[in-house]
Structure 1
Amino acid sequence: MQLIDIGVNLTHPSLAREREAVIERATAAGVCQLVLTGTSLEESENALEFCRQLDDSGRRLFSTAGVHPHDASQWNGDSARQLRALLSETPVRAVGECGLDFNRDFSPRPQQEKALEEQLALAVALRLPVFLHEREAGARLTAILREFRDRLPAAVVHCFTGDRNTLYGYLDLDLHIGITGWVCDERRGTHLHPLLRDIPAGRLMLESDAPWLLPRSLRPKPKSGHNEPAFLTEVLREVALHRGESAEAVAAHTTATARAFFDLPQL
């Protein structure tokens, strides 16, 4: 049984300091390919470098490149040029993490929207899929995406935590949906359980978002308290339970979907 983790922040210091061991544990757990998340120009460079350093085969580690809405205030006239150069590199398979965050508003909303729109334009020009972030901004993100969707190859709303109406809005735009350990959180994730059946096979993908979102249902818990790709099997278990499918079936169709979305090689 193979799994693909479509969102791991391997450049975060808590994982980067033992990155080889993290990858080894992921492989032992059946997580055969990882997509490293780029959240700023600097982190996107670092993620690309990790792919080069840690994967001689060029078949197991891949990355995204983009500017997160938290960092949208840093977006300037040169950002698109720098990002375009990163997106030309073979291991980089998607634009992002980009999007809107109206929960924390670390960057002013107009700047978030400008950075998002310019990154979507790059995705259109380069024919690349998009790795999206959204918090409390579903309606606005849907409106912006509607203007680009016919020209975008594909887009995934990563770490989906929204409600039924938001989910249906994304599915109506033929978007992919990424599910994390949020679904394992009995305090705030149970509303997702009935929605999991509504995500069609071919639109669902799994991700750890490590080192964050350690599945609360995981036993035993790691002493570090940090999440990592090896624990994606717990997300798989919870998703399979609430979809009424076997873990093997969910692993098969989410892996096939991720491989097609990011144009990853067969192993």
Structure 2
Amino acid sequence: MKNYIDIGINLTNRQFQNDTDTIIQNALDNEVVQMILTGTSVQGSKTAATIAKEYPSTLFSTAGIHPHDAKSFNNQSISELRKLVQLPHVVAVGECGLDFDRDFSPRDQQEKCYRAQLALAIEVQKPLFLHERAAFTRFMGVTKDYLPQLPKAVVHCFTGTLQEAKTYLDNGFYLGFTGAISDTKRFAHLQEVVKYVPLDKIMIETDAPFMLPKNVPKTSLTKYHERRNEPAFLPYVAQTVASFKGISLEEVALATTENGKGFFEI
């Protein structure tokens, strides 16, 4: 029997409204035994923590402010996040980082918000759940100031270049891979990246309801949710990793689950 850990699901997203029990049961039926809910704002992190508490040992959550929401960052934000990350089922600081692709928040505000969360992670010594998109150079420029003291960190939903992956690995980071790796048109370069990254530095995630794997059979999608990803589809991410690396699905399941448990201490 294979067991999987989905390190990033957006269960507070409105696409999952009133669907929590079904989504979790679907995941368990497909051997996804533990899931981590991503906090992307102070309020979203509170909601994620509340949901996770209702499913002990199965659901956990993170607490953070996504760069898209950095514009909401204020003097109370860090104290609110600090309270959350002290809860035993809140296992990481984040999602935090920089996103210069969409620029939904001003870049200086993104950086200020990110730095505050790096400092919080150092203070509470909980792992970091990181986001970086179209901002690699500045992201590393900011992060390096904190590296000597940083706890463990994972760059989630990695879609960058091989050289960027190497830089992250050289700095001790883990990489999280989503269904993007099965998109051979848009992200063909990720095959080379997945081949290169050591199995003990890989974690897998759905980032549901986004990043639907291309190898999910149409029969698994309902007419109501033809494009909605869910944690039940995590094995399709694992299958792609196994295919790229030329190893068994069991090996991928075992390694990524072990990595997730060790990293998040769950």
Query: Normalising TM by the smaller chain, what interval?
Result: over 0.9
- How many angstroms does 1:212 deviate by? 0.5
Q: 1:148-204, CA deviations, whole angstroms, 9 ceiling, x for partnerless residues?
A: 122112010000000111111111111000000001112212110011121112210
Match among 121, 142, 146 for residue 144 of structure 1: 142
Question: Residue type matched to 2:221 in 1?
Answer: P
What's the TM-score once normalised by structure 2's chain length? 0.96
CA contact (8 A) 1:7 1:35 kept: yes
Question: Residue type matched to 2:29 in 1?
Answer: A
Q: Is 2:11 the counterpart of 1:10?
A: yes
Match among 242, 249, 252 for residue 240 of structure 1: 242
Alignment partner, residue 197 of structure 1: 195
Q: 1:218-240, CA deviations, whole angstroms, 9 ceiling, x for partnerless residues?
A: 11251202000000011110111
CA distance in 1, matches of 2:63, 2:36: 11
Alignment partner, residue 163 of structure 1: 161
Secondary structure of the 1:86 match is helix
Secondary structure of the 1:215 match is coil
Secondary structure of the 2:145 match is helix
CA contact (8 A) 1:69 1:107 kept: yes
CA distance in 2, matches of 1:257, 1:236: 14
- How many angstroms does 1:11 deviate by? 1.0
Question: Residue type matched to 2:19 in 1?
Answer: E
Aligned length: 261
Question: Residue type matched to 1:28 in 2?
Answer: D
CA contact (8 A) 1:100 1:116 kept: yes
Question: Residue type matched to 1:24 in 2?
Answer: Q
CA contact (8 A) 1:139 1:166 kept: no
Alignment partner, residue 265 of structure 2: 263
Secondary structure of the 2:199 match is coil
Question: Residue type matched to 1:80 in 2?
Answer: I
Structure 1 runs of 4+ aligned residues shifted over 6 Å read: none
Q: Is 2:120 the counterpart of 1:118?
A: no
Q: Over aligned residues, Cα RMSD in angstroms?
A: 0.9
CA distance in 2, matches of 1:191, 1:17: 37
CA contact (8 A) 2:53 2:60 kept: no
CA distance in 2, matches of 1:245, 1:144: 36
Question: Residue type matched to 2:114 in 1?
Answer: L
CA distance in 1, matches of 2:108, 2:211: 29
CA contact (8 A) 2:71 2:110 kept: yes
Question: Residue type matched to 2:261 in 1?
Answer: R
Question: Residue type matched to 1:98 in 2?
Answer: C
Match among 229, 232, 237 for residue 230 of structure 1: 232
- How many angstroms does 1:147 deviate by? 1.5
- Structure 2: gaps of 5 or more residues: none
Q: Write out aligned runs for 1:73-92 (5 A).
A: 73-92=71-90
Question: Residue type matched to 1:163 in 2?
Answer: T
- How many angstroms does 1:16 deviate by? 3.2
Deviates more, 1:137-146 or 1:161-170: 137-146
